[in-house]
């Protein structure tokens, strides 16, 4: 089983330095490591003393590195999309759009990176994948894709099913209406696709929610702004069901105040990482935590059926930054500029919320 | 007429410091300034000594600040989307999806931020909008939206028009087919929408391509990795038709080597910006360029009809990083992990390319 480790915090040189150190840490234990970076990343090229490519290349024993490039990834995905479309479109229909001319839209980078990570993970070619992404809110949105897909799929399917087709047909009227009602669709193909998508979503949701398979470390310094941002990202990570396993505090010029950091990030363990000097990675590798031991951290969501309560772990936020809403059948937690629609167990589904109380770091919802 | 200024380079504290200094610079000349930042941005809050809100608030004479929050923006946009859908869907059809439960997908942040910037720009409430975005490739993708929309609209319309409807109808068969062919669509409404969209795209493309209305400054230090990244972004900016007007080199600890910087970014002007000390902004304001003078910089694209040549300005790239392809009717330049489909004048359209040569910093395409 592969394992993915990523980092949250300001995505500057420190971030990349810590990612490389972590990759080297695993490689020294004979684990097959793939370090995944983005385009552009001159810091990584300078630190690794090599130029990065869009396909994995081994740069040291057990250590491979790849730089994700949206244009290259799009080319690969486009071929798959075309095959998939061919399954559903009649053979006479051809969209003459070449992959080479498709322009990359905002969000494509995240979707393509997610897809690339998923493939490397499933390939089983690597024991550990170190993902040196942007480490910001957009990274969380990317890692949130499985849970987002889960919700969209469930919710829009409900919405579509609740549409009264005969009403639509009436208001459109004419031959299109009667056609809609009698259309001879290939329902087996559509059903197969739905089952496949559901299976994919369920598997991905399981990976994201399992710290043994995916976990994040916060990267910070002892500067107040860096700490504040790392704390914000820590809370935000809970919203996509991502486990944060520890804090790596990079020392830039002075020794960081460890006690202060430990208070800011309790109950997480804080490791102080010395600055890299003259390409000597040894001190950094020694300062890293033992990644083989996966620390126990609070669950993002705990359901207590006896007390009829749901506890949402939201560290790093204050009361004013957390919002709870119940609209229709959905219970939504808004925090960290993200929304999480909570899937309740049958016993609590569609029950009115009797109370929502935020006491750092928990939001307690009572039914 | 409003003006937007943004920054490209590593989006850390320096970036925000330079953005705030620029906002203060304009405010001192009695220009109405809006500083637009993102969520989260504890650095901005510490530097401005205030907490940021999702609606503009005046924090000093002529100086307002707003922090874009995707969840809030989505709420506003959702109302508009619903109104728009109501125009096209029959009144009996209701999708019971509340804005409050819609989860934010990758790319939404960019789309929502773009829309917010567009509104502030059109409101004419501000003379200058200082946009402290991420300053990376994703920012460029965001600013590239008008040109992307232009291409998608043009290209997919062509593709759709080239579809042979009767062929599709034949292969689907039955009543749906005859309905498709005889459907009584409200073509006037659809035509109106198309004209509106085209108008919007044309206006936005004009704003992006005009340095008097939108320009970017590179933010760097004298570290090799920072310079390399800023150069890469400089070239990438050309791909979305964005003008880069100058370089702001932030001095962290030692005096930066100005000559080296000027060589790396010629013909751009380089201004050295001192580090902020004890909230004293004066030295920074004095070090900034005169933003009122808009420097002449090379055009991203120059067409020479006599020589039958197109010159593409692509600074910061080497030969191996630039790719030219001609597929179907499209001429595509790939560089900086972006694609630019070049719209040629009638004289050169559909003509075979006889040569493509990259001599830093120009790609010269001959017909």
pLDDT level of residue B189 (50, 70, 90 thresholds): low
What pLDDT score was predicted for residue A304? 94
| Residue of A198, A195, A178, A191 lying closest to A88 (CA atoms) | A191
What pLDDT score was predicted for residue A140? 94
Residue A184: pLDDT over 50 = no
pLDDT level of residue B100 (50, 70, 90 thresholds): low
Residue B219: pLDDT over 80 = yes
What pLDDT score was predicted for residue B273? 92
Tell me the pLDDT tens digit for each residue of B191-209. Answer: 677 778 888 888 899 999 9
Residue B261: pLDDT over 60 = yes
For chain A, the domains span 1-297, 301-366
Q: How far is A138 from chain B (nearest CA, A)?
A: 7
Q: With an 8 Å Cβ cutoff, are A92 and B137 in contact?
A: no
Nearest Cα residue in chain B from A113:
B106
Q: How far is B292 from chain A (nearest CA, A)?
A: 31
Q: How far is CA B105 from CA A89, B99, B131, B283, in A?
A: 27, 13, 22, 42
| Residue of B282, B284, B281 lying closest to B249 (CA atoms) | B284
Burial class (CB in 10 A: 0-12, 13-18, 19+), A348: middle
Sign of CA dihedral B99, A343, A135, B322: negative
Candidates B10, B16, B20, B40, partner chain A, best to mutate (most A CBs within 10 A): B40
Task: Return the SS3 of A220.
Answer: strand
Tell me the pLDDT tens digit for each residue of B24-69. Answer: 999 999 999 999 999 888 889 999 999 999 999 999 999 999 999 9
Contact B47, B59 (CB under 8 A): no
What pLDDT score was predicted for residue B90? 57
What pLDDT score was predicted for residue B184? 46
Tell me the pLDDT tens digit for each residue of A268-288. Answer: 999 999 988 888 999 999 999
Q: With an 8 Å Cβ cutoff, are A104 and B339 in contact?
A: yes
- Provide, rounded to the nearest whole percent, the portion of chain B with pLDDT above 70: 83
Residue A97: pLDDT over 80 = no
Q: With an 8 Å Cβ cutoff, are B338 and A104 in contact?
A: yes
Shortest CB distance from B46 goes to which of A107, A224, A328? A224
What pLDDT score was predicted for residue B30? 95
Region B281-296 average pLDDT: 96
Residue A187: pLDDT over 80 = no
Q: How far is B309 from chain A (nearest CA, A)?
A: 21
Q: How far is B66 from chain A (nearest CA, A)?
A: 15
Region A310-322 average pLDDT: 93
Q: How far is CA B217 from CA B16, B285, B292, in A?
A: 13, 15, 14
Assigned architecture for domain B1-294: 3-Layer(aba) Sandwich (3.40)
Residue A246: pLDDT over 50 = yes
Mean per-residue pLDDT of chain A: 85
Q: With an 8 Å Cβ cutoff, are A170 and B138 in contact?
A: no
Shortest CB distance from A159 goes to which of B95, B100, B175? B95
Residue A175: pLDDT over 80 = no
Sign of CA dihedral A28, A34, A40, A45: positive
Helix axes B174-182, B165-172, angle to 10 degrees: 160
Strands A214-220 and A244-250: parallel
What pLDDT score was predicted for residue A238? 96
pLDDT level of residue B241 (50, 70, 90 thresholds): very high
What pLDDT score was predicted for residue A166? 54
Shortest CB distance from A182 goes to which of B90, B175, B180? B175
Contact A290, A217 (CB under 8 A): no
Shortest CB distance from B71 goes to which of A95, A97, A337? A337
pLDDT level of residue B15 (50, 70, 90 thresholds): confident
Nearest Cα residue in chain A from B337:
A71
The whole-angstrom separation of Cα A300 and Cα A297 is 9
A93 neighbourhood in chain B, CB within 8 Å: 163, 167-168, 171
Region A201-214 average pLDDT: 91
Nearest Cα residue in chain A from B45:
A225
Residue A185: pLDDT over 50 = no
DSSP string for A287-344: HS--TTS------SEEEETTTTEEEEE-TT--GGG-EEEEETTEEEEEETTEEEEE--
User: For residues A167 and B358, which has the higher predicted lDDT (pLDDT)?
Assistant: B358
Strands in B355-359's sheet, in edge-to-edge order, are B301-304, B309-313, B362-366, B355-359
Q: With an 8 Å Cβ cutoff, are A92 and B42 in contact?
A: no
Q: With an 8 Å Cβ cutoff, are A156 and B103 in contact?
A: no
Residue B109: pLDDT over 50 = yes
Q: Which residues of A232-262 are buried (b: 16+ CB within 10 A; e: fewer)?
A: bbbbbbbbbbbbbbbbbbbeeeeebeeeebe
Nearest Cα residue in chain B from A104:
B338
Region B342-363 average pLDDT: 90
Q: With an 8 Å Cβ cutoff, are A184 and B167 in contact?
A: no
Peptide bond into B254 cis (omega under 30): no
Region A234-238 average pLDDT: 96
Q: With an 8 Å Cβ cutoff, are B101 and A70 in contact?
A: no
Region A89-113 average pLDDT: 72
Q: Does domain A1-297 have CATH number 3.40.50.11030?
A: no
Q: With an 8 Å Cβ cutoff, are B97 and A339 in contact?
A: no
Candidates B101, B169, B338, partner chain A, best to mutate (most A CBs within 10 A): B101
- Provide, rounded to the nearest whole percent, the portion of chain A with pLDDT above 90: 52
Q: How far is B173 from chain A (nearest CA, A)?
A: 9
Q: Does domain A301-366 have CATH number 3.40.605.10?
A: no
Q: How far is B224 from chain A (nearest CA, A)?
A: 8
Region A164-179 average pLDDT: 55
Residue A15: pLDDT over 80 = yes
Residue with the two structure tokens 């810590």: A18
- Provide, rounded to the nearest whole percent, the portion of chain B with pLDDT above 90: 52
What pLDDT score was predicted for residue B81? 77
DSSP string for B76-141: HHHHHHHHHHHHHS-TT------GGGPPPPTTHHHHHHHHHHHHHHHHT--SEEEE----SHHHHH
Q: How many CB pairs under 8 A join A and B?
A: 238
What pLDDT score was predicted for residue B330? 77
Tell me the pLDDT tens digit for each residue of A42-58. Answer: 889 999 999 999 999 99
**From the CB of residue A21, how many other CB atoms can be counted at a distance below 10 Å?**
23
Angle, alpha carbons A115-B320-B230 (nearest 5°): 75
What pLDDT score was predicted for residue B224? 85
Shortest CB distance from B101 goes to which of A114, A174, A332? A332
Asked which of A197-206, A208-217, B180-189, B279-288 is least confident by mean pLDDT, the reply is B180-189
Candidates A337, A343, A344, partner chain B, best to mutate (most B CBs within 10 A): A337
Tell me the pLDDT tens digit for each residue of B49-58. Answer: 999 999 999 9
Region B298-302 average pLDDT: 94
A107 neighbourhood in chain B, CB within 8 Å: 105-108, 110-111
């Amino acid at each position: 089983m592969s394992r993915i480790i990523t980092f949250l915090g300001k995505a500057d040189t420190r971030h990349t330095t810590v990612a490389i150190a972590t990759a080297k840490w695993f490689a020294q234990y004979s684990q097959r490591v793939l370090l995944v970076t983005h385009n552009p990343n001159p810091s990584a090229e300078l630190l690794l003393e090599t130029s990065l490519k869009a396909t994995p290349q081994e740069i040291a024993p057990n250590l491979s590195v790849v730089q994700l490039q949206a244009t290259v990834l799009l080319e690969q995905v486009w071929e798959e999309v075309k095959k998939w479309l061919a399954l559903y479109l009649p053979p006479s229909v051809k969209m003459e759009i070449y992959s080479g001319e498709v322009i990359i839209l905002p969000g494509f980078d995240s979707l393509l990176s997610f897809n690339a990570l998923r493939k490397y993970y499933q390939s089983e070619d690597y024991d550990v994948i170190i993902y040196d992404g942007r480490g910001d809110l957009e990274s969380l949105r990317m890692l949130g894709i499985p849970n987002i897909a889960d919700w969209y799929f469930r919710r829009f399917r409900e919405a579509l099913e609740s549409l009264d087709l005969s009403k639509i047909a009436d208001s459109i009227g004419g031959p299109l209406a009667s056609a809609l009602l009698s259309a001879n669709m290939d329902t087996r193909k559509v059903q197969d696709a739905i089952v496949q998508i559901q299976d994919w979503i369920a598997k991905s949701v399981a990976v994201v929610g399992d710290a043994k398979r995916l976990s994040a470390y916060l990267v910070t310094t002892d500067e107040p702004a860096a700490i504040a941002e790392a704390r914000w990202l820590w809370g935000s990570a809970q919203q996509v069901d991502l486990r944060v396993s520890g804090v790596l505090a990079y020392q830039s010029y002075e020794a960081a105040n460890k006690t202060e950091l430990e208070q800011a990030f309790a109950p997480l363990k804080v490791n102080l990482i010395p600055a890299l000097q003259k390409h000597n990675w040894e001190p950094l590798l020694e300062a890293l935590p033992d990644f083989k031991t996966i620390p126990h951290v609070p669950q993002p969501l705990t359901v207590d059926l006896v007390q009829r309560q749901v506890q949402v772990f939201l560290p790093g936020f204050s009361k004013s930054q957390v919002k709870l809403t119940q609209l229709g059948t959905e219970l939504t937690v808004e925090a960290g500029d993200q929304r999480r629609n909570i899937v309740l167990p049958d016993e609590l589904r569609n029950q009115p919320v009797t109370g929502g109380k935020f006491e750092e770091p928990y939001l307690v919802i009572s039914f």
